[in-house]
Structure 1
Amino acid sequence: MKKDTLTLRRWLAARARQGGVWPRIAVLAGSASTLLLFVQAWAIATVAQHMVIDEAPFTSLAVPLLVLPFAFIGRGALAWLKTEAGTHGALLVRQSIRHELFQRIGELGPLWARRQHSATLGNRVWDQVDALHGYYADYRPQVMLCVTIPVLILLAVFPLNWAAGLILLITAPFIPLNMAMVGIGAKQRQQAQFREMTRMSRHFLDTLRGLPTLKLFGVSRAQADVVHEVSENFRTRTMRVLRLAFLSSTLLEFFSSLSIALLAIYIGFVYLGHFDFGTWGRELDLFAGLFILVLAPDFYQPLRDLGSHYHAKTEAEAAAEDLMPLLESSAVNGSNGSDWPVPECLGLTLENVICRYPGQQVLALDGVSIDIRPGDTLAVIGPSGAGKTTLLNLLMGFLSPEAGTLMTHDGTRIDALAPEAWQHAIGWVGQHPAILSGTLADNLRLAAPDADDKAVWQALEDADLAEWANALPQGLATPLGAGGQPVSGGQARRIALARVFLRQAPLILLDEPTASLDRDSEAHIMRALARLKPGRTVVMLTHRLDLLQLADRVLVLDRGRVRAVDTLDALRTRHDLFDATRFVEDSHA
C-alpha cells in the first residue's frame, strides 16, 4: 500500500508541470507577502515603542503610520495574486488531464467505452478531474510556503530572542503530526465517497432512461424510494468526509493557538523579570516582543492552511487511483505507420482471422478468410450474433484479431499502422449517426475540417440533402443538436452520408444504412448510395433486399464463421443455407 501511495504522489507531482509558471508565481506571491509582514510588524512595534515607552512626539511616527496601510494593501494584493495564480495553474492541469482522458478513450475505441457505464465515464472525466483542483490550486503551493515562510520568520526572530525562536521551532511539528493522524483514514473515506458517487450516478441515469417503462408498469414511486436510499447513502459518506475535515481544522486551530499562547506567556514572564534567558544578554524591549508576537500567528498560518487543504490531497489521491491506470495504460495499437498515405483505391484481405471480446470464451469471429477487391461492394448478412458487427469493428481498427492477419490489397498489415492513420481511409455510416451541438457546417466538417463551402454543398447534393439544407433558416449556419434545428432519423442518416462524400475515403463501412426508415427516406439513401459506390470499396451490413442488389457479392456469416461468399443470384439457389434471399425479404417486410 505504501508503494502504491508513493506512486500516486509521483504521478500527481509529474502532472504539476502542466500548470506552467503559475504555481511558482503563487509561491513567490506568498513569500513576498511574508516580507511585507515584516514591514507591517516593524510599523506596529515601532508605533507602540515610541508612544508607550519612548513617549516620542507624534511627528516621529509619520513613517511607520504611512507605511502600515501600504503593507496591508500590498499583502491583500499578494494574497489575491496567490489565489489567482494557483487557480490558473490548477485549471491548466485539469484541462491537460481531461484532454488526455478524451484522447485515451478515443484510442480505446467505442467497444471499450460501451463496456463502461456512461455515468462512470462521466464521473471520471468531470468529477474526478475536478477533484484534482484543490490539490494543484492550494495544497502544492502551500507545501512550498510551509518551508519558505517559517524559515523567513525564524531568521527574523532568532536574532531578537533565541528562546522565542526555539518555542516556534519546537511547537511547529505538532501541526504536521495532527495532519498525518487525520490523513490515515481520510483517503479511504474519500475513495468510498467516490465509489458511492459513481454508484449514485449510474443508478440515477439508469432510472431516467427506464422512466417510461417504470411509469407503464406502475413502479415509478417504488423506484423513487430506491433513489432516495442511494442518495442518503451518498449524503452519509459525504458527511463523514466533512466531519473529518472539520475535526482536522479544529485540532489545527487548537494547537496553533496553544503554541502562540505559550510564546506570549514566555514574553510576559520576561517582561515581569521571572525569565532572563533567550535575550542574547540584552533586555527584551517592547519593540522586540511585539514584533515577535505579530509574526507568531503567521508562523503557524502556512501549516494551518496546509492542514485545511489536506483533504484536497486525499481527495486528489483517491481520484488519481482511478485515473492513473486509464491514462498510463499502453495504447491498443502501436504508433508505427503513422505516416501511411491513404491510397485512392483500397482492398482488404482477411486470412483465418479469429476475434474474441475481452472476458468472453466464445469466439466472435472463427477463422474468417475473405478477399475484398478494390472497388467491390460486399454485403454482410446473418442472424443476430453471427459476427457482423464484430467484422465492422475489426475493419475500423477498434478490435484486434487474436489470430490471423488483416491486410490491404497491396500486403500492408493493418495492425502495423497507427489507428488514426488507418481510420483516415474509412468513411462510416452507422444506425445512429451522431449529431453534435453546432451548425450544419460544423457537423459536416467533422469529416473534413478544411473543406470549403462549395465542397460542403456538393456533399449535401450527393447525399440528397441540398433541398432540405437550402430550406433551413440560416443555411449551413443553422444550429443542430440540443436547442437547435430538429433532425429526423432519415436526415441524420443522410448527414452521415454527406460526411462520407466529404471525406472521400476509399473504404466505406455501412451498418444498416436504411434500417428503421420510411419508404421516402430509404429511397433518398438508396440514390445516395448509388452515387457513392463508384471508385470505392464498400462493406455494408444489411437485411434489406434492395441494398443486397447493390452488392457485387454477399457474405453470409453464422456464429462467427463464413457460410458462403457469392453473388445474390447464386445464393438464391443455395437452399442448404437458411435461404439468404428469403431471410432478407422477410426482414424487409
Structure 2
Amino acid sequence: MGKIKQYYKKYKSQKERGRDYFKWLLGYTKPYLLRIAVLMIISVAWTYLGIEYSVMSQKIIDMAGKGYITKTSIAVFMILIMIMLIGESVQNLFSAMLNERYSFGIRKQVYDKIIRSIWIGTQKFHTGDMMTRMTSDAGNIANGMVNVIPNIIVFLIELALVFFTLYQNSRFLAVSALFLTPIGILLAYALGRRLKKYQVKVQESETAYRSFIQESLANILIVKAFSSEDRFSDDLTTLRNNRFHWVWKKSKLSAASNLVMGGTFQLGYMFAFIYAAGQISRHEITFGTMTLFLTLFGRIQSPIASLMRELPGVVSIFASAGRIMDIQDIPLEERIEQSGLEGAMGVAVQNLSFAYDKDYIFTDVNFDIKPGDFVGIVGKSGIGKTTLIRLLMNFISPSEGSIRYYDDAGHTMDLSATVREFVSYVPQGNTLFSGTIRKNIMIGKEDASDEEIWQALDMAVCREFVEKLPKGLDTVIGEKGVGLSEGQAQRLGLARALIRKSNFIVLDEATSALDEITESQLLKKLAEMTPRPTCILITHRKSVLDYCNREFVLEDGNVKVKDIG
C-alpha cells in the first residue's frame, strides 16, 4: 500500500510539473502564435497543392494512355511544380528566421533571469550547464514550438485531406490505410516516456563535457603547469564515452521504432499495390488511377510516419523546458525603489548572523562604518572577509539581523540590490572582459567621456601604461586581460570602479598584485578625494592599514573593531 501511495504521489507531481511546462511554453509562445499560424497555413496550402499535383499526374497519364495530352494540362502541371518549389523555399526561409527569433528570445529571457536573480541561486549551476541550457535546450524548445508542433498539426490536417481524396476514389484503400494510425499512436505512447528519460540524460552528458572543456580551457595554465595534458585529454574521452552511451540508447530506440513503422508501412504499400494491380487486370481502373491510388496511399502513410519522426522532438521540448524552468525557479533579487543618499555614506550592521546551509559564518555581529571612514578588514584566509562584503553588497542576504546605509543628512536606505547603484566594487582577481580598454572602463559608467576615462585611469595609477599601448584606449585585450600583466589588469579594474565616482568604495584585495609604491600612490589618491568617500579595504598587507582610521578583525564568527591613530 505504501508503494502505491509513493507511485501516486510521483505521478501527481509529474503531472503538475508537466502542466507547469505547458503553461510556460504557451505563455512564452503567445507573441509568436500569429507567425506560427501563418507558417502552418503555408504548409497546409502546399499539402493541398501536393494533392492537386497527384490528381493532375493521374489525368496526364490517363490522357497519354488515350493518345493525347493537352497544352493546358501540361501548363497547369508545370505551374504547380514551380509554385511548390518556390513555396517550399519561402517556407524554409520563414521557418528558419522564426526559429532564430524564438530561440534567441528564450536565451535572452534565461540570460535576463540569471543576471537579475539572487547570486547564490545561480551558483548552484555550473556555467557550462547554464550555457547548455541557454543554447542546446533553448534550441530544442524553439525547434519544437516553431517546427515540430506545427508540423504535427499540419500532418493531421494532411492525413484528413488525403484520406478524403482517397476515399472519393477508393473507400476500401482509404479505410485500410487508416488502420495504420492506431499502430502509430500506440507506438508513440510506448516510446514517449523512455525517450524523455534518454533525452534528459543526453542533455546532462552534454552539460558535463561542455563544462569540463570550458573549465579546463579557462585554467589551461594549470593544466600545463602540472603536465596534465594527457590526463585531461583522457578525462574528456571518458565524458565523451558517457555521452555516446546515452546517445546510442536514444538513437537505438528511435531506430527500432522507425524499423517497426517502416516495415508496417511497406506491408501496407504492398497491399495497396497488389489491390490496384488486381483492379487493372480486371480493367476496373486505369494506369493513371492506379498511380493516384499508390500516391495517395503513400501520402496517408507519410503523415503517420512523420508523426513518429517528430516524437523525439516533442519529448525534447518537455525535457528541455524542465531544464530551462529550473533556472526560471531561481528567486529574483529584491530591488527597493528609494531615493539615493547624498555625500559620503555609512553603513550600520545590527545583530547580523549568516550561515551557508547550517554552518554559521557570522553570529550576532554589530558594527557601524561612519561616512568617510577608511576601514581595513583583516583576518586569516577563509574566515569570511569576502562573505562580509557580499552581505554588504546584498549578493547574499543575512540569515538574521539588518544592514542599513545612511548619510550625514540622516537619510537611510534599506539593504537591497539597489544599494549597488551607489557603491563601487573591485572584487578579487582579474575581472576584465575581452574587448577594448575603453569598453571595459565604460562598464562602470556607460556614458563616460574620454576625459572622465582618463581621470579614472589617473586615479588608478595606470594612465602612463595605457598611453604607451599601440591604440591607447582602443587597444583590444583578450579574455581575463590577456596581453596585460596582473598588476595592469588589476589597476584597470580599479579605474572601472572609480569612474563611477561613488561615495562608497569596496576593494577586496584589489591592490594585491601592485608593488608597494604603486599601491601607496593609489591609496593616497583615494584618501585625498573630495568629498572623502567611505572605503572598505580587505587586505593581508599591514601597509594598507596606514591609510585606514579603523581596523575590523574577523575571528570566531565575529568582528572586532579597532580605532587606528
User: What TM-score results when the alignment is normalised by the length of structure 2?
Assistant: 0.87
Aligned position for 1:104 = 113
Flag the 1:347–1:334 CA change in 2: closer, same or farther, 3 A. Answer: same
User: Counterparts of 1:125 and 1:311 in 2: how far apart (Å)?
Assistant: 20
For structure 1, which segment, 514-523 or 285-294, has the greater mean C-alpha deviation from structure 2 after superposition? 285-294
Paired residues in the alignment total 549
Please tell me whether residue 495 in structure 1 is matched to residue 492 in structure 2.
Answer: yes
- 8 Å CA contact 1:19–1:91 kept in 2: the answer is no
User: Counterparts of 2:402 and 2:435 in 1: how far apart (Å)?
Assistant: 40
Aligned position for 2:351 = 352
Map 1:173-252; keep pairs closer than 5 Å: 173-203=182-212, 221=230, 224-252=233-261
Aligned position for 2:446 = 449
Aligned position for 1:512 = 509
Flag the 1:9–1:464 CA change in 2: closer, same or farther, 3 A. Answer: same
Per-residue CA distance 1:264-303 (angstroms, 9 max, x = gap):
44444444559xxxxxxxx866655543433332333233
Question: Cα offset for 1:88?
Answer: 2.5
Q: Which amino acid aligns with 2:397?
A: S
Aligned position for 2:24 = 11
Question: Cα offset for 1:44?
Answer: 0.7
- 8 Å CA contact 1:86–1:136 kept in 2: the answer is no
Per-residue CA distance 1:370-399 (angstroms, 9 max, x = gap):
122222222212222332211100111111
User: Counterparts of 1:224 and 1:217 in 2: how far apart (Å)?
Assistant: 14
Question: Cα offset for 1:35?
Answer: 2.0
Question: Cα offset for 1:215?
Answer: 6.8
User: Counterparts of 1:566 and 1:453 in 2: how far apart (Å)?
Assistant: 41
Aligned position for 1:473 = 470
Aligned position for 1:167 = 176
Q: Which amino acid aligns with 1:128?
A: D
Aligned to 2:470, the other structure's residue is in SS state coil
Please tell me whether residue 363 in structure 1 is matched to residue 360 in structure 2.
Answer: yes
Aligned to 1:293, the other structure's residue is in SS state helix
Q: Which amino acid aligns with 1:84?
A: L
Aligned to 2:372, the other structure's residue is in SS state coil
User: Counterparts of 1:381 and 1:246 in 2: how far apart (Å)?
Assistant: 63
Aligned position for 1:522 = 519
Per-residue CA distance 1:230-250 (angstroms, 9 max, x = gap):
432222222222222222333
- 8 Å CA contact 2:110–2:328 kept in 1: the answer is yes
Map 1:307-346; keep pairs closer than 5 Å: 307-331=308-332, 333-335=333-335, 337-338=336-337, 340-341=339-340, 343-346=342-345
Aligned to 2:371, the other structure's residue is in SS state coil
Per-residue CA distance 1:183-223 (angstroms, 9 max, x = gap):
23111122222333333445556666777767777776566
Equivalent of 2:94 in 85, 88, 91: 85
User: Counterparts of 1:189 and 1:180 in 2: how far apart (Å)?
Assistant: 15
Aligned position for 2:399 = 402
Question: Cα offset for 1:524?
Answer: 4.5
Map 1:20-35; keep pairs closer than 5 Å: 21-35=34-48
User: Counterparts of 1:404 and 1:8 in 2: how far apart (Å)?
Assistant: 38
For structure 1, which segment, 363-372 or 511-520, has the greater mean C-alpha deviation from structure 2 after superposition? 511-520
Flag the 1:255–1:72 CA change in 2: closer, same or farther, 3 A. Answer: farther
Aligned to 1:11, the other structure's residue is in SS state helix
User: Counterparts of 1:438 and 1:46 in 2: how far apart (Å)?
Assistant: 66
For structure 1, which segment, 18-27 or 298-307, has the greater mean C-alpha deviation from structure 2 after superposition? 18-27
Flag the 1:310–1:84 CA change in 2: closer, same or farther, 3 A. Answer: farther
Please tell me whether residue 130 in structure 1 is matched to residue 136 in structure 2.
Answer: no
Flag the 1:206–1:290 CA change in 2: closer, same or farther, 3 A. Answer: closer
Q: Which amino acid aligns with 2:116?
A: E
Please tell me whether residue 47 in structure 1 is matched to residue 47 in structure 2.
Answer: no
- 8 Å CA contact 2:133–2:324 kept in 1: the answer is yes
User: Counterparts of 1:400 and 1:466 in 2: how far apart (Å)?
Assistant: 38
Per-residue CA distance 1:30-75 (angstroms, 9 max, x = gap):
11111211331232111112121x43x33x2x12212223322322
Aligned to 1:365, the other structure's residue is in SS state strand
- 8 Å CA contact 1:19–1:92 kept in 2: the answer is no
Aligned position for 2:295 = 294
Per-residue CA distance 1:450-470 (angstroms, 9 max, x = gap):
222232222223322222222
Please tell me whether residue 378 in structure 1 is matched to residue 371 in structure 2.
Answer: no
Please tell me whether residue 439 in structure 1 is matched to residue 436 in structure 2.
Answer: yes
Aligned to 2:396, the other structure's residue is in SS state coil
User: Counterparts of 1:213 and 1:461 in 2: how far apart (Å)?
Assistant: 34
Aligned position for 1:414 = 414
Aligned position for 1:566 = 562
Question: Cα offset for 1:180?
Answer: 2.2
For structure 1, which segment, 549-558 or 386-395, has the greater mean C-alpha deviation from structure 2 after superposition? 549-558
Flag the 1:343–1:32 CA change in 2: closer, same or farther, 3 A. Answer: farther
User: Counterparts of 1:216 and 1:554 in 2: how far apart (Å)?
Assistant: 38
- Unaligned segments of structure 1, at least 5 residues: 275-282, 570-589
Flag the 1:173–1:77 CA change in 2: closer, same or farther, 3 A. Answer: farther
- 8 Å CA contact 1:31–1:149 kept in 2: the answer is yes
- 8 Å CA contact 1:267–1:289 kept in 2: the answer is yes
Q: Which amino acid aligns with 2:331?
A: S
Per-residue CA distance 1:532-562 (angstroms, 9 max, x = gap):
5743222221222332122222222212212
- 8 Å CA contact 2:354–2:398 kept in 1: the answer is yes
- 8 Å CA contact 1:342–1:424 kept in 2: the answer is no
Q: Which amino acid aligns with 1:349?
A: A
Aligned position for 1:280 = none
Aligned to 1:487, the other structure's residue is in SS state coil
Identity, % of aligned positions: 21
Per-residue CA distance 1:116-143 (angstroms, 9 max, x = gap):
4343333333333334343234312212
Aligned position for 1:582 = none
Aligned to 1:379, the other structure's residue is in SS state strand
User: What TM-score results when the alignment is normalised by the length of structure 1?
Assistant: 0.84
Flag the 1:24–1:339 CA change in 2: closer, same or farther, 3 A. Answer: farther
Map 1:533-544; keep pairs closer than 5 Å: 534-544=531-541
Question: Cα offset for 1:351?
Answer: 0.9
Flag the 1:260–1:5 CA change in 2: closer, same or farther, 3 A. Answer: farther
User: Counterparts of 2:194 and 2:337 in 1: how far apart (Å)?
Assistant: 47
Equivalent of 2:271 in 258, 262, 265: 262
User: Counterparts of 2:517 and 2:139 in 1: how far apart (Å)?
Assistant: 48
User: Counterparts of 1:225 and 1:532 in 2: how far apart (Å)?
Assistant: 55
- 8 Å CA contact 1:351–1:369 kept in 2: the answer is yes
Flag the 1:411–1:196 CA change in 2: closer, same or farther, 3 A. Answer: same
Q: Which amino acid aligns with 1:252?
A: M
- 8 Å CA contact 2:452–2:499 kept in 1: the answer is yes
Per-residue CA distance 1:465-511 (angstroms, 9 max, x = gap):
22222222222222122498712222222212222222222221110
Flag the 1:80–1:251 CA change in 2: closer, same or farther, 3 A. Answer: farther
Aligned to 1:549, the other structure's residue is in SS state helix
